[in-house]
Amino acid sequence: MAYLNKSLTGLDECFNIRENTNSTKQSEYRLLPSASVDQAIGKEESEMKVLYLRHLLEKDLKAADFKWSLFIAACHTYRLDTCLKPFPPMYIKNEIKDIDGLRKAIEYIPPLSIVAQELKEPNVYDTKGSSIELLFWVLVKLRDMRIKTVNKDCHESVLKRVNSELTVAAPNLIFQVASSKLISAEQRWRQLAKGHNTFYAYHGSRLENFHSIIHYGLQQHLCKESLFGKGIYLSSELAVSLPYSPVGYGWGGSLLGSDMSCVALCEVINHPDVKLGDTNNSARNLAPESIGGKVPNKYCIVLNNDLVRIRYLLVYSQEFGCLRSSHTTGFLGWLKQHKLLTFMLGYVVLLASIGLSQNRNVERYFRLLINKFGLD
């Protein structure tokens, strides 16, 4: 368990034992036959992966579930070349992506709450090694962007980062996207931010796009909207960005719900390459190659990818909301969650009532009951 105290930034060194010729472990392995060395190293690496993955799931299960859902959403889109980036290297054979094999492997992975329990079993890697490798790669190895669950009490403070005027439904969940200061993209952003103010704005996109977005950032050339010029379109109003984030299918085993939509809350540098609709400055409210004229009010268009960074992800999930309400409203919540069954039971009761009302014995008994209580 001592491995859990190590920083994830040192993960590559932990998994690169063979290249560290000065390590004590290496000198010990030299006393063994080569086959035994490989077996010992492989055993240690697999145990470490299980420990790291288990620690991650126990620490923030919702964030891990959400990140896994985004990955699966990208796996099931037809736009694999743009959405499923990065692609798991263990499913690339002879430079050909084995998407069918990847999709089949995903089907065998149970809900992450069950995975967290299975990881406590001894020798779990021997029976579920391929699933652990894939989960480890998605949830741990891809650590350039760390997703963290924002406490419900802090949702309002996050949303107040943007001065919105239009009323819109609050998201069910908010996740923080934390990036290391050592990442080149974050370093470029911080360098460009010197001498400039920053502001927050929303960006809507389809669910399957976010696996690529959280790892590579928003890309200008992938944005289809170009009426007011080419660039990354954002808005100061959540109500404006929400229509660009339709409900998509994530993962059937998700505790957040299989159907969800996602909106990014971004931090933008107030740079001349950011065109604003809320200004009268002609140099700032008109983007190049615009065919629609000035940038509309409540919009901004970013012409340089390095000027915008995703800080939060707002998630809307109807199933997650229903699940929470069912726990707080008891029987009524159960009826809302099982609408089809409730409708069928109501229909059966209606048919039974009609049948009994036409039965003479029931009618006679009903009349006697009325006479007994003097209700006639």
The answer on 275 and 263 residing in a single domain is yes
Residue 128 phi, psi (nearest 5): -130, 35
pLDDT at 159: 94
The answer on 307 and 160 residing in a single domain is yes
pLDDT at 58: 93
Give the residue among 313, 310, 318, 279 at the shortest CA–CA distance from 296: 279
Under 8 Å between Cβ of 311 and 266: yes
Single pTM value for the model? 0.73
The answer on 285 and 328 residing in a single domain is no
The answer on 257 and 301 residing in a single domain is yes
Looking at 276, 295, 316, which one is the last position of a domain? 316
Q: How far apart are CA 275 and CA 295, in angstroms?
A: 7
Q: Residue 231 to residues 154, 244, 293, 299, 329: CA-CA distances in angstroms? A: 31, 15, 14, 12, 46
Amino acid identity for residue 223 in this structure: C
Q: Residue 246 to residues 72, 217, 234, 259, 285: CA-CA distances in angstroms? A: 17, 20, 16, 10, 28
Domain ranges, residue 119: 2-143
Please enumerate in sequence order all residues whose Cβ is within 8 A of that of 35, keeping only pairs 6 or more positions apart, or say none: none
In this structure, the number of other CB atoms found within 10 A of the CB of residue 218 comes to 23
The answer on 340 and 294 residing in a single domain is no
Tell me if residue 279 falls in helix, strand or coil. Answer: coil
Surface-to-core class of residue 337, CB atoms within 10 Å of its CB (0-12 exposed, 13-18 middle, 19+ buried): middle
Looking at 89, 118, 143, which one is the last position of a domain? 143
Torsion on CA atoms 75, 254, 261, 264, rounded to nearest 10: -80
The answer on 226 and 358 residing in a single domain is no
Counted domains in the chain: 3
The answer on 307 and 164 residing in a single domain is yes
pLDDT at 62: 95
The 8-class DSSP code of residue 333 comes to H
DSSP secondary structure of 37-63? HHHHHHHHHHHHHHHHHHHHHHH-HHH
The answer on 172 and 304 residing in a single domain is yes
Region of 231 on the Ramachandran plot (φ > 0 left; ψ -120 to 50 alpha; else beta): left
The answer on 194 and 98 residing in a single domain is no
Q: Over its length of 376 residues, how does the chain's per-residue pLDDT go in tens digits?
A: 444 444 444 444 443 333 333 333 333 333 334 444 345 456 688 889 999 999 999 999 999 999 999 999 999 998 888 899 999 999 999 889 999 999 999 999 999 999 999 999 988 998 999 999 999 999 998 877 789 999 999 999 999 999 888 888 899 999 999 887 667 888 898 999 998 999 999 999 999 999 999 988 898 776 666 778 888 999 999 999 999 999 999 888 899 988 999 999 999 999 999 988 888 887 888 888 778 788 888 899 999 999 999 999 999 987 654 444 434 445 666 665 566 777 778 877 777 777 767 777 767 776 777 677 666 5
Under 8 Å between Cβ of 136 and 49: yes
Q: How far apart are CA 205 and CA 282, in angstroms?
A: 29
Looking at 99, 122, 143, which one is the last position of a domain? 143
Residue 176 phi, psi (nearest 5): -85, 135
The answer on 358 and 287 residing in a single domain is no
Please enumerate in sequence order all residues whose Cβ is within 8 A of that of 36, keeping only pairs 6 or more positions apart, or say none: 29
Under 8 Å between Cβ of 279 and 239: no
Give the residue among 97, 75, 78, 91 at the shortest CA–CA distance from 137: 91
In this structure, the number of other CB atoms found within 10 A of the CB of residue 205 comes to 21
- CATH for 218: 3.90.228.10
Amino acid identity for residue 162 in this structure: V
The answer on 44 and 191 residing in a single domain is no
The answer on 350 and 336 residing in a single domain is yes
Q: How far apart are CA 235 and CA 296, in angstroms?
A: 10
pLDDT at 212: 93
Query: Please, how many CA atoms are within 13 Å of residue 151, restricted to the half-sphere of its CB?
Result: 3
